[in-house]
Amino acid sequence: MLLEACLGGDLWSLLQDRGPFDDGATRFYTGCVTEALVYLHHRGIIYRNLKPETILLDLRGYAKLVDFGFAKYVGVGKKTWTFCGTPEYVAPEILLNKGHDGSVDCWALGVLLFELLCGSPPFSGSDPLDIYSIILRGIDMIQFPRKITKSAANLIKGLCRDRPSERFGNQKNGLRDVQKHKWFDGFDWDGLQQGSIRPPFAPPVGGPLVHSDFNSFTEDTDEPPPDDGSGWDAEF
């Protein structure tokens, strides 16, 4: 899948470099992700891989979803049973093999919101099994730092309800309920869609081919494998 070049780096690296974001920056990035999920869910596609590492910034500083390896078309109102996702972001119904739909992206959106505000996700542990156990205990067992406002906490807990049918973003109005939540009061959704909002962080990218916001890796010097002579790639 060929996507546009997003040379501003990934949101996880920005979070590690600058520390937890304030409400304004978190609204912007969460708003970008919400718009992307609205687009996908309207077409019956679930993403299932939401986390700061899969959110890249373009030249302007707008956030874009990438890495659609776990994305799946299931259709509107239908479920799938594949076990996949990053441990800290996996919804309870995936762990319990109850079948899942786009509501797992709503759960992950709540986890992302918490991580952007606090610097780490609400469900974390020494290994995946520990993390899954904490997830199954529920969001109400998580102690929220004081820096998280009441309206932000309300949105996070609404997105991370154990029952998918009770989850913000998975009810009659879909993710529009998230966009109309009190925490987003005053946010310029039209400006976000039109690209007229000034991003909280402008990547210092000097041109369309500059990749300084990404890590460098040593060049692979291994010899390429020999051609097997089968011709399988003749029309690749």
Q: Alpha helices of 69-149 — where are they, by DSSP H?
A: 92-95, 103-118, 128-137
Residue 225 lies in a domain: no
Helix axis angle for 103-118 and 150-159, nearest 10°, is 150
Asked if 142 and 71 touch (Cβ cutoff 8 Å), the reply is no
Return the beta strands (E) in 39-192 as ranges.
45-46, 55-57, 63-65, 72-73
Give the pLDDT confidence of 185-222 residue by residue, as tens digits. Answer: 999 999 999 999 999 998 886 666 666 556 666 777 77
Residue 43 one-letter amino acid = R
Is 204 part of any domain? Answer: no
- How far is it, in rounded angstroms, from Cα 51 to Cα 11? 9
In this prediction, residue 63 carries a pLDDT of 97
Q: Does residue 231 form part of some domain?
A: no
3-state secondary structure of 55: strand
Counted domains in the chain: 1
Residue 200 belongs to some domain of the structure: no
Report yes or no on 107 lying in a domain: yes
Q: Model's pTM, two decimal places?
A: 0.87
Separation of alpha carbons 126 and 113, rounded Å: 22
Q: Is residue 61 one of the residues assigned to a domain?
A: yes
Q: Please check whether residue 6 lies inside any domain of the structure.
A: no
- Model pLDDT for residues 70-117, shown as the tens digit of each residue: 999 999 889 999 999 999 999 999 999 999 999 999 999 999 999 999
Asked if the model's pLDDT at residue 227 lies above 90, the reply is no
CA 50 from chain centre, in angstroms, equals 3
DSSP per residue, 180-226:
TSGGGTT--HHHHHHT-SPPSS-----STT--TTS---PPP-PPPPP
- Determine the residue type at 134: I
CATH number of the domain that 69 lies in?
1.10.510.10
Which residue range is the domain that position 149 belongs to?
A: 11-194
As a whole-number percent, the residues of the chain with pLDDT over 70 amount to: 94
Task: Please report the pLDDT score of residue 103 as a whole number.
Answer: 97
Closest by CA to 154, choosing from 120, 114, 192, 194, is: 114
pLDDT at position 170: 94
Residue 235 lies in a domain: no
Q: What mean pLDDT do residues 220-229 have?
A: 77
Exposed e or buried b for every residue in 190-217, given b needs 16+ CB within 10 A? eebeeeebebbbebebeeeeeeebeeee
Tokens of 138: 């529920």
